Amino acid sequence: MWFEEELKLSKAQIPTAVCLSTVGNDNHPNARFVSYKEIIEDSFIITGPLNSRKGTEIEHNNKVALTFWWTETERQVRIQGVATKLSEERADKYFNERDRDSQAVSSVCEQGKEVDNLEQLQKKVLEKASDEIKISRPANWGGFSIKPIRMEFMEFKQSRFHHRKLYEIEKDVWNLKQIQP
């Protein structure tokens, strides 16, 4: 409900952005914004390259966090959960929903890798995008389903007496705790 309210009011170019935090392979936290897709089977869906830093970090430690910040409604949702790789069929579905330019970038680029010649890489992407051939999902592109174990909902108040509710799952039952601002 909060997400839908924010979408109606949002002026953001990418209103579906969510901060994904992982534990780095060097044990340092890493955070970046990714595109939230939807909730399926009580799990949050995100997509991207599986061989990127986020993909390899999730493969190493699948405990992750998502943080939504909604400017217009001044609300935040923090989620901690366990990530599992999407099925090939579901990954195909999300890849096919992407616009052609995004598909071309994903099929040519290796996200996060060093590049010697950016112009040459961009030329390859433009060639791929302008080609008439269907762009197939690369084997290294997929996504993750994040099953929450803890969710905190916070409404910011001008008085700084923010309203915070924490839901935690224990023995397959969600428990609600009102927590202090």
Over residues 51-77, the pLDDT tens digits come to: 999 999 999 999 999 999 999 999 999
DSSP calls for 16-42:
TEEEEEEE-TTS-EEEEEEEEEEEETT
pTM comes to: 0.90
CATH number, domain 2-96+139-179, options 3.40.50.1000, 3.40.50.2300, 3.50.50.60, 2.30.110.10: 2.30.110.10
Q: Given this model, what pLDDT does residue 37 score?
A: 95
Residue 55: name the closest of 86, 90, 89 by CA. 86
Spatial neighbors of 46 by CB under 8 A, at least 6 apart, are: 18, 20, 34, 35, 36, 37, 66, 143, 144, 146
129 within 8 A of 101, measured Cβ to Cβ: yes
- Residue 12: per-residue pLDDT: 84
Domain limits of the chain? 2-96+139-179
- Chain segment 157-166, per-residue pLDDT in tens: 999 999 999 9
Angle between helices 100-108 and 118-130 (to 10 degrees): 130
Q: How far is CA 181 from the centre of its chain?
A: 27
